[in-house]
């Protein structure tokens, strides 16, 4: 462990469970890097990630955004292109945009597509898939409601999905956020994950919840504290 992280860890009791408010306060105190560190929540779930009916994924609109303006590209046709442009999409196109992607234009954070364009997008699935950029109905990025989707993505709508270990990792803002805004975002995310519990999941659903800054130590949250 780096000397810096050792010093920061002294501020956190590894054996204590903190309230959301205490955790948000601590994560700000331990974010001492020279850049504005991201704050991420990690939720370890009691699911079997190998079972498709136990996958936990979804989207949630964080009330205070994530502290970053995301670049949103849209693949659509006709009037939906105009709708995307009015909503603030950074780049809009159809087969021309797909060709740009095939040539290596991946300068976006989120790609949204209308259902009628998914067949054409399959041509670049091998490029987008490994990078987690392929539009998906479950993440809300395949839709005809283009305008609303683009606006929400710009405001702070994030997608979450458990990894191969059954853990959900999701950014909830920046260390520079006011504590109350971090608290609100954390509670919003946790609430969304709780509601997304698969019916096939048995036993204890949430094993642990922790929060940390990019370079800081993990701070565990008491699940019994008010969410």
**Are 75 and 200 spatial neighbours (Cβ–Cβ below 8 Å)?**
no
Distance in angstroms (rounded) separating the CA atoms of residues 163 and 37: 22
- Sign of the C-alpha dihedral, residues 70, 37, 168, 183? negative
Give the per-residue pLDDT at 53: 95
Give the per-residue pLDDT at 4: 65
Q: Which residue has the higher pLDDT, 11 or 67?
A: 67
Which of 27, 59, 30 has the alpha carbon at shortest distance from 41?
27
At 118, give phi and psi (nearest 5°): -65, -30
- pLDDT above 80 for 50: yes
**Are 19 and 221 spatial neighbours (Cβ–Cβ below 8 Å)?**
yes
Percent of the chain surpassing pLDDT 70: 96
Q: 3-state class of 129 per DSSP? A: helix
Per residue in 186-224, pLDDT tens? 999 999 999 999 999 999 999 999 999 998 889 999 988
Per residue in 59-75, pLDDT tens? 999 999 999 888 999 99
- pLDDT above 80 for 28: yes
Q: 3-state class of 98 per DSSP? A: helix
Give the per-residue pLDDT at 14: 83
> If you ran DSSP here, which 8-state letter would residue 61 be given?
E
Give the per-residue pLDDT at 188: 97
Q: Taking the CB of residue 126, how many other CB atoms lie within 10 A of it?
A: 10
Q: Could you tell me the two tokens for 208?
A: 């642990």
The model carries a pTM of: 0.84
Q: 3-state class of 126 per DSSP? A: helix
Give the per-residue pLDDT at 225: 73
Distance in angstroms (rounded) separating the CA atoms of residues 152 and 70: 11
Strands 72-75 and 91-93 turn out to be parallel
- pLDDT above 80 for 156: yes
Q: Taking the CB of residue 106, how many other CB atoms lie within 10 A of it?
A: 15
């Amino acid at each position: 462990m780096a000397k810096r992280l050792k010093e920061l860890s002294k501020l956190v009791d590894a054996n204590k469970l903190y309230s959301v408010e205490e955790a948000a306060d601590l994560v700000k105190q331990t974010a001492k890097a020279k850049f504005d560190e991201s704050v991420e929540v990690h939720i370890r779930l009691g699911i079997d990630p190998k079972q498709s009916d136990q996958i936990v994924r979804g989207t949630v609109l964080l009330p205070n955004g994530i502290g970053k303006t995301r670049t949103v590209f849209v693949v659509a046709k006709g009037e939906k292109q105009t709708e995307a442009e009015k909503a603030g999409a950074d780049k809009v196109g159809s087969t021309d945009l797909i060709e740009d992607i095939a040539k290596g234009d991946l300068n976006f954070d989120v790609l949204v597509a209308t259902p009628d364009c998914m067949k054409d997008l399959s041509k670049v699935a091998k490029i987008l898939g490994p990078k987690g950029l392929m539009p998906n109905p479950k993440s809300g990025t395949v839709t005809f409601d283009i305008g609303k989707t683009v606006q929400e993505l710009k405001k702070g709508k994030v997608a979450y999905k458990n990894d191969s270990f059954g853990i959900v990792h999701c950014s909830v803002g920046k260390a520079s956020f006011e504590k109350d805004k971090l608290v609100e975002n954390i509670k919003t995310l946790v609430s969304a994950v709780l509601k997304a519990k698969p019916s096939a999941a048995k036993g204890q659903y949430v094993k642990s919840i922790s929060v940390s800054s990019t370079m800081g130590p993990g701070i565990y949250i008491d699940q019994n504290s008010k969410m």
